[in-house]
Structure 1
Amino acid sequence: MDEDFYRARASQVRDIAETADPFTKQRLLKLADQYEVWAGNPSRASRSLARPIPLPSTPTRGKT
């Protein structure tokens, strides 16, 4: 299975989730997120996180 398949499946599952009851909708949206991960996309949770502040470069030992 390739990335396009997983993206298409995620879209189909999200469409189905729109008509589901709240409990089932939540589970279907989690499933759609998993399909996105399998497609090579970051999950929604990781997309919502802010980028970490880059660490300052450390000076090399022995050089001033």
Structure 2
Amino acid sequence: MEEFYSGFAHRARDLAEKADPFTRRRLLELAKRYDAKRKPGGSARPLPPPQTSPPSTLFSASGEA
């Protein structure tokens, strides 16, 4: 996963070299975020827990409410 974010950060910096000042600033900020995600303890949010289906006991066929 580190290579993935590192590659994106590198591409954003390459594009920033050829961009206008506004776009350059945005691309460099994006590259910083990608760098933070690839470093241990970075600002990347942890993945959410996997979705599971509720137990079948919640949906009884008895019709009780």
Residue identity opposite 1:31 in structure 2: L
Matched, 1:29 2:65: no
What is the distance in 1 between the residues matched to 2:9 and 2:3?
10
Q: Mark the CA change 1:42 to 1:29 in structure 2 (over 3 Å): closer, same or farther.
A: farther
What is the distance in 1 between the residues matched to 2:5 and 2:11?
10
Structure 1 spans left out of the alignment, 5+ residues = 44-64
**For the pair shown, which has the larger CA radius of gyration, 1 or 2?**
2
Structure 2 spans left out of the alignment, 5+ residues = 43-65
What is the distance in 1 between the residues matched to 2:40 and 2:21?
25
Any residues of structure 2 matched to 1:1-64 within 5 Å, and which?
A: 2-40=1-39
Using the TM superposition, give the Cα deviation of residue 42 of structure 1 relative to its aligned residue in structure 2, in angstroms: 8.2
Residues 24-61 of structure 1, C-alpha deviations (whole Å, 9 max, x = no match): 10010000000000001688xxxxxxxxxxxxxxxxxx
For the aligned residue pairs, the C-alpha RMSD in angstroms reads 1.9
What TM-score, normalized by structure 1, do the two folds share?
0.60
Identity of paired residues, percent? Answer: 45
How many residue pairs get matched?
A: 42
